[in-house]
Structure 1
């Protein structure tokens, strides 16, 4: 077995649990990654994500949460270090080369690689994502390099894209809507081999009637 093959064989699926040496299937459902793009730990988006997770788990899915508010993610600096080296050895099931920035994106890469589908709960900030979550989206660059870039290693004609379900959270009132958010998510996740399966509009969900009441969400 080559080093590349051994790496692929020993890579652990983060959605799996080991029981007696065998993978335990929790409900026999799909492996769902639930990402919350809010920078507030207990805000409206986080509460919506709580309810969404419960509904998905009730339907038999295995759900792992990844909350932007709890993560340290640096900006992509466009260094192209994640561009595949023609002479490098990669595992047969690799989806990207490594990013040189050592932060919490490493966990997200592993989860994205293993997920059957993604549910993305994202608040709208001036028609787009939060600034911190835009950093997360920009850090999907290793997938773009692997799939699309000048040194791409993937034969996309054989690829099966996976779904992203975008849940849009906001107070409403912006005449420019959230088309920019949808386009940014479609571009970033499309580079990672996903497609937007649906956009679930939740504008106004969980919003207090009075402006000053919003302060209770921290």
Structure 2
């Protein structure tokens, strides 16, 4: 009998019951469970995390001196087979709360990449999919969000394999159409940044 695949769903919104959490419950979790995966949820809104202060105290023990919700997340990351990240896009990047979580991946970076660390060259990186949530209207797309997620999870032994453009999901049609996200780029004679971001599916790091 095959062991069930363990999928960790991370919701990067500061709102516990917002669109991102609903997208996780209605779209991501059912999909994972439909193929028999064991699904765990970790919502940033339910787990207050202090930001990294670059003190480098994690360099030796590969562990942050802070004792907070990150301890539980590190355990979840260590035991999962794949990660689904649902992240709202704020000015092309992550929310402040989710960025604090990603910055706290520093001990994982130290363990694998830092001066005292050592990564297994034969290591097979586990997959991460990023689902981007937003109401639309930002002409600059969300490439920075994908880059930040790729960098942080890459340091932890994962690879970003897909970026799903879910901008507009769960939003009222009127709100989504309030602003043309390509208007500024069109005025400059440039391709729409939103279009460029939506073509990022299949990224491998």
TM-score, scaled to structure 2: 0.81
Residue in structure 2 matched with residue 69 of structure 1 by the alignment? 45
Note the C-alpha offset of 1:54.
Answer: 1.9
Corresponding residue for residue 44 of structure 1: 19
Where does structure 1 lack aligned partners over 5 or more consecutive residues?
1-24, 86-96, 212-218
- Whether 1:171 and 2:144 are equivalent positions in the alignment is no
Please say which structure displays the higher CA radius of gyration: 1
Asked whether 1:31 is paired with 2:6, we answer yes
**Number of matched pairs:** 174
Q: Is the 8 A contact 2:131 2:166 kept in 1?
A: yes
> What value does the CA root-mean-square deviation take over the aligned residues?
1.4
TM-score by length of 1: 0.77
- 2:165 is paired with a residue of what secondary structure? strand
Which 4+ runs in 1 deviate beyond 3 A?
Answer: none
Deviation at residue 67 of structure 1 after TM alignment: 0.2
* Whole-angstrom distance in 2 between the partners of 1:195 and 1:119: 12
Contact 1:29 1:62 survives alignment (8 Å): yes
The residue aligned with 1:102 is 67
Q: 1:29: Cα distance to partner?
A: 2.5
Which ranges in structure 2 are unaligned for 5 or more consecutive residues?
176-205
C-alpha distance in 2 between matches for 1:32 and 1:155: 23
**Per-residue CA shift, 1:90-129, capped at 9, x if unaligned?**
xxxxxxx221101100000000011100000000000000
1:202 to 166, 177, 186: 166
1:135 corresponds to: 100
Kindly indicate whether the alpha-carbon contact (under 8 Å) linking 2:135 and 2:168 is maintained by their aligned counterparts in 1.
yes
